[in-house]
A and B are shown apart, each in its own frame.
Chain A
Amino acid sequence: MTERLRCCLSLVAALGLLARVADAAAAAEVRIAVVSLAGDLRHEARRLAQRYPGQPQGRALDGAQVAAAEARFALEAAGQSLRLDAQEARNEAEVGPMVAALARQGTRFILLDLPAAAVRQATAAVKPGEALLFNVSADDDGLRGAACSPVLLHTLPSLRMRADALMQYLALRKWRRALLLSGPSTGDAAQRDALVQSARRFGIAWSAQRTFRLSNDPRERDQSNLNLLTSGTDHDVVVVADADGEFARGVPYATQLPRPVVGASGLGAQAWHWAWERNGGPQLNRRFTRAAGRPMTGYDWAAWVAVKAIAESVARQPKAGFAAQAQALVTGKVVVDGFKGPPLSFRRWDRQLRQPVMLAHPDGVVAVAPVEGVLHPKNNLDTLGADEADTPCRAPSS
């Protein structure tokens, strides 16, 4: 054997050893990616500055980072470490290939901080067993219904869950006649449809359903003037469906009759609130504010709880491998502490995280749904959103 060949062989052996060491390290590392989209309209600087209620106030990465820091100790005790990577797609077309590449390279848990259309792109790019995707910022009911996928979980409450929470509260207060104001956009229509469906479910009647328009055109004043929009009917409460928030902001204290305003302004239904003071809420809010420099919203909570759920599944069975850890999540076996009181888990029928929804105005939390007296045969949390019997999702977790 020549000197040169021996040298090469030992180099190969050394490389093999290195690869094995790297493998062992990789096996103990849980990789989570947070995928966002450049130019996501929800995160435009001018829009963020408006701080419309119920809208994101910053990127999901902040919440994920807080949860990653919380999970470190438990994962280390289980012989695992956690790596969190932020990835930004330049456009919607890039989302699918990016998610597929992440899964190929061993990032099995991927948070999607994306609008609904981009979530669909990501979902189409992943096959069962390759990765789990966590939708943390799209409330679209379609993603949980006809477009559901075995690889897609949702931690943000759906539009329908939030509408149910609101209507439960109106029923509790016996504000049973409502005036609905909804806008012309498709987002407004989605909110309106969810509210109308929930109103039927919880026995809220509409005194009128009207369409508003942001306009100063005198020819359209019946649709833009709040006095005209809110007069001519008697109602207990005004419900606003406004995906954007600009119109809704002007409605409280500006109605013809002195009536409370709920929905897109006034009292809203959210996953989280900065003023929540039970179940460890103050501690979490302090941790988040310290890390992100802003108050925690429902969107931040959704990202936070997604990482919590992943960490819980891994810490409970660190040696079981991805398939078993994923299975425990999608079948609802993993129990997560969401700092909202009850233990939380994913629904088998559409992989939406069951959770309480807060009814809050900008200053504080008024109530939490499911409200007192609303019952369910199995779990009261399943009175919010699509239940097993009425889910349009045809791909339940088995």
Chain B
Amino acid sequence: MNEMPSPKWFAVTLLLVTALLVGAGLAEAARVASGQVFVSSEKDDAIAAFDARSRQLLAVWRQCKRPRHLQLSPDRARLYVACSDDHRVDVASRKTLASLPVGDDPELFDLSRDGRMLYVSNEEDGLLSAYDTASGKRVFAVKVGEEPEGVKVSADGRRVYVTSEVANLVHVIDVATRKVVGNIQVGNRPRRLLLLRDGKELWVSNELSASVSVIHTDTLEVAHTIHFAPRGFRAGDVTPVGMAASSDGTRAYVGLGRANHVAAVDVASRRVLDYVLVGRRAWGLALSRDNARLYVANGLSDDVSVVDTASSKATATLKAGRVPHSVAIDD
């Protein structure tokens, strides 16, 4: 972000940091969500925090070089940030608490449900690496196809799924044996992953096929392909990347990139219910805990659309620094 927050917001920032730190010292149950929406900006090397209710910018801070994926720890006390050009993942609760050096060009990552393990894709080396979040040590690394991107850990923590953009594959990695136990061919340039139906379905967004492949995780086969065709766009302009699911798992949202829309999909019938117009190149998606608001990072219009999911309309736009990548919500 180019401008610094005004002195007024800066004061609020300091207060919030204190609150966060005090909160972190209390028992887990006592921690109150900060109500903040975090947005990473690839080109400003910064993270912006917005107040979810007022939509006001609370603070912008320089985090690291080219921050991309954001994810809260399972207890929501920490924010993990992939720093692609610093080759590390920062654990930031407003202040950087720790940095895990994770090899070249980390892009996306996922945390195990207990928060102990962090799995990260190293785009440059074609690796999926596993780290112990407490010690910061690398536990193992597995060679996968070139330019791995999406990473997802199964709920039981036994498997890690990784996409390779270049090989058009989803790799299935067995955590116990640390080996690739399956390669599933999907559409072109697979990007992100979403686990649905209690982990029985794995959804893969295919950026250059205008589709999502639905994989059954028991057979490891593509069972279905969902195609997207918002009105007025040709298949070549529809480039699905980011995905998010409602907390009950009945509704999924898919960012359609160049088509400047987000698709709302009924998970059970796999039918597209609606296309919502957002900003340019809609990628990173995040849903509020009450499923009422969907935040969409628009990489080419430098803003975040706030979508009211009940009416399927974008109701606000937040200015978000150069090339916003990901959104994480602490609510």
Q: Does A73 contact B (CB under 8 A)?
A: yes
Q: How far is the CB of A292 from chain B (nearest CB, A)?
A: 17
Are A280 and B188 in touch, CB under 8 angstroms? no
Are A283 and B124 in touch, CB under 8 angstroms? yes
Chain A 370-383: CB-based contact to B (< 8 A → 1; otherwise 0): 00000000011100
Q: Which of B129-174 contact A (CB under 8 A)?
A: 144-147, 164-169
Select from chain A the residue with minimum beta-carbon distance to B146.
Answer: A70
Select from chain B the residue with minimum beta-carbon distance to A381.
Answer: B236
A73-B236 in contact given A335-B208, A343-B188, A343-B209 (Cβ < 8 Å): no
Tell which of A283, A337, A379, A381 touches B189, judged by Cβ atoms closer than 8 Å. A337
Q: Does A258 contact B (CB under 8 A)?
A: no
Are A74 and B188 in touch, CB under 8 angstroms? no
Which residues of chain B come closer than 8 Å to A286, judged between CB atoms? 124
Q: Does B197 contact A (CB under 8 A)?
A: no
Q: How far is the CB of A163 from chain B (nearest CB, A)?
A: 23
Which residues of chain B come closer than 8 Å to A78, judged between CB atoms? 185
Are A315 and B168 in touch, CB under 8 angstroms? yes
Q: How far is the CB of B233 from chain A (nearest CB, A)?
A: 12
Which residues of chain B come closer than 8 Å to A335, judged between CB atoms? 188, 208-209
Which residues of chain A come closer than 8 Å to B124, judged between CB atoms? 283, 286
Are B209 and A283 in touch, CB under 8 angstroms? no
Chain A 333-368: CB-based contact to B (< 8 A → 1; otherwise 0): 001010001110000000000000000000000000
Are B185 and A337 in touch, CB under 8 angstroms? no
Q: How far is the CB of B324 from chain A (nearest CB, A)?
A: 15
Q: How far is the CB of A276 from chain B (nearest CB, A)?
A: 15
Q: Does A389 contact B (CB under 8 A)?
A: no
Please, how many residues of chain B have a CB less than 8 angstroms from a CB on the other chain?
24
Q: Which of A42-77 contact B (CB under 8 A)?
A: 69-71, 73-74, 77
Are A77 and B258 in touch, CB under 8 angstroms? no
Alpha-carbon distance A337/B209, docked complex (angstroms): 10
Q: Does B116 contact A (CB under 8 A)?
A: no
Q: Does B123 contact A (CB under 8 A)?
A: yes
Are A73 and B167 in touch, CB under 8 angstroms? yes
Are A77 and B146 in touch, CB under 8 angstroms? no
Chain B 104-117: CB-based contact to A (< 8 A → 1; otherwise 0): 01000000000000
Select from chain A the residue with minimum beta-carbon distance to B180.
Answer: A77
Alpha-carbon distance A71/B124, docked complex (angstroms): 15
Alpha-carbon distance A73/B123, docked complex (angstroms): 14
Are B147 and A280 in touch, CB under 8 angstroms? yes
Which residues of chain B come closer than 8 Å to A280, judged between CB atoms? 147, 165
Q: Does B36 contact A (CB under 8 A)?
A: no
Q: How far is the CB of B239 from chain A (nearest CB, A)?
A: 8
Q: How far is the CB of A151 from chain B (nearest CB, A)?
A: 26
Chain B 66-102: CB-based contact to A (< 8 A → 1; otherwise 0): 0000000000000000000000000000000000000
A77-B185 in contact given A280-B147, A283-B123, A283-B124 (Cβ < 8 Å): yes
Q: How far is the CB of B174 from chain A (nearest CB, A)?
A: 16
Which residues of chain A come closer than 8 Å to B105, judged between CB atoms? 283
Select from chain B the residue with minimum beta-carbon distance to A77.
Answer: B183
Q: How far is the CB of B83 from chain A (nearest CB, A)?
A: 16
A341-B188 in contact given A77-B169, A283-B123, A283-B147 (Cβ < 8 Å): no
Alpha-carbon distance A73/B169, docked complex (angstroms): 9
Are B123 and A343 in touch, CB under 8 angstroms? no
Are B168 and A343 in touch, CB under 8 angstroms? no
Alpha-carbon distance A238/B208, docked complex (angstroms): 38
Select from chain A the residue with minimum beta-carbon distance to B184.
Answer: A77
A337-B167 in contact given A73-B126, A286-B124 (Cβ < 8 Å): no
Are A74 and B236 in touch, CB under 8 angstroms? no
A74-B145 in contact given A343-B188, A343-B209 (Cβ < 8 Å): yes
Select from chain B the residue with minimum beta-carbon distance to A66.
Answer: B146
Q: How far is the CB of A66 from chain B (nearest CB, A)?
A: 10
Are A337 and B188 in touch, CB under 8 angstroms? yes
Are A74 and B123 in touch, CB under 8 angstroms? no
Alpha-carbon distance A280/B189, docked complex (angstroms): 11
Known: A74-B166, A74-B168. 12 other contacts (CB 8 A): A70-B166, A73-B146, A73-B164, A73-B169, A77-B167, A78-B185, A280-B147, A283-B124, A337-B188, A343-B188, A380-B234, A381-B236
CB<8 Å pairs between A and B, sample of 23: A70-B167, A71-B166, A73-B144, A73-B145, A73-B164, A73-B166, A74-B145, A74-B166, A74-B168, A77-B183, A283-B124, A312-B168, A315-B167, A337-B189, A341-B258, A342-B208, A342-B236, A342-B237, A343-B209, A343-B236, A379-B234, A380-B234, A380-B236
Interface residues of B, Cβ cutoff 8 Å to A: 105, 123-124, 126, 144-147, 164-169, 183, 185, 188-189, 208-209, 234, 236-237, 258
